[in-house]
Chains A and B, each alone.
Chain A
Amino acid sequence: MADIAFLLLIFFLVTTTMDVDSGINRKLPPWEPEQLQDPPPIKKKNIFTVLVNSNDQLLVEEQLMDIEDLREATKRFLNNNGDGSCDYCVGGLQSPTSSDNPGKAIVSLQNDRGTSYDIYIAVQNELAAAYNELRNELAQRQYGRDYENLSDDQMDEVQDAYPQKISEAEPVSLGG
């Protein structure tokens, strides 16, 4: 009896894979064969452009940047509070060349066809991290808890305060 049980035990021990599937969730825009004639006007200062070329170099707001600095730069942009309407943006620089408020701020990401998947995921991760950190800070201030532990209503509220707007343009050949 115990022998058979042992045999089965060893079989399941060997075949077990414990890894849980996890990853970064994203939503794709619906397919539209024809481009919209007039895209809604968006002020240039409300767009945070991130370009990645085929050498995996980052050009953020027309400046070369290391991936390590992307998270801070994104947070600075989102939290800028240019028009002073965001009363929960702590430490906003109110720079006239950066975003008006988090509701209007859009992150635009464009990569080259030769960009490696590795760096693309790193960029996506850093952008998501910037939003998550801001949401966490707000959740801590308002409710004294982490964003993850909020109730659904509170979570929606914090989410509305920092809506995640990441727009991805179709890749072009940026060269490099």
Chain B
Amino acid sequence: MSKFKKKTGGGTPAISTASLPDIVFMLLFFFMVTTVMREVTLKVENKKPKATEIKKLERKSLVTYIYAGAPKKAYQSQMGTEPRVQLNDAFARVKEIQNYVITEREAINEAERPLMTVSIKADKEVKMGLITDIKQELRKANTLKINYSTTKGEVYNN
């Protein structure tokens, strides 16, 4: 009849799960904020070359993307295997780049137009002939700031 009865059995008490929703919400908000939705479906192969002297692209709203590479397997029956240019969601000819870039530039507010950057996302198997053609078109469209999209890594292992 002692007041201090020895607790026996019962094992370890269950961990309180009251804070579980808090933790889940915290993670949820983290991922919601950091998520960037894919804007285009890639129709061309896109294995970027490696480089070490790279700079981050800032101000995503001022960046226009041009993809180049061999068409993916599913499109090879129509497009062949030669490297092609992709603008937005469709294959394009090199000649169309000029118009595309100008349209994109019109969409940017006037004060920020000189800051517009074109990011060339080319596959590493692409030959320089195509890249040069793209560059010439960009020069004609007078968009001179470009960025060769690369991943970080030593160039010698390419």
Binding site for B on A (CB under 8 A): 1-2, 5-6, 8-9, 12-13, 15-18, 20-31, 67-68, 111-122, 124-126, 128-129, 132, 170-171
Contact = CB atoms under 8 A, between A and B. Distances in A.
Given A2-B20, A30-B139, A8 B149 contact: no
Contacts of A170: 132
Contacts of A117: 49, 122-128, 131
A125 B52 CA distance: 7
Contacts of B123: 117
13 contacts: A12-B35, A15-B38, A16-B31, A23-B148, A24-B55, A25-B146, A30-B139, A67-B155, A114-B129, A117-B126, A117-B127, A125-B51, A125-B53
Nearest to B63: A21
Identify whether the interface residues of B are mostly helix, strand, loop, or mixed: mixed
Contacts of A28: 135, 138-139, 144-146
Interface of B: 20-21, 24-25, 27-28, 31-32, 34-38, 49-57, 60, 63, 117, 119, 122-129, 131-132, 135-136, 138-140, 142, 144-152, 155-156, 158
B28 A23 contact: no
Contacts of A5: 21, 24-25, 28
Contacts of B148: 23-24, 26, 121, 124
B56 A20 contact: yes
Contacts of A27: 144-146
A113 B129 contact: yes
Contacts of B127: 113-117
B131 to A, nearest CB: 6
A30 B53 CA distance: 24
Given A12-B31, A27-B144, A28-B146, A21 B131 contact: no
A65 to B, nearest CB: 13
Contact of A128 (B20, B24, B53): B53
Contacts of B27: 9
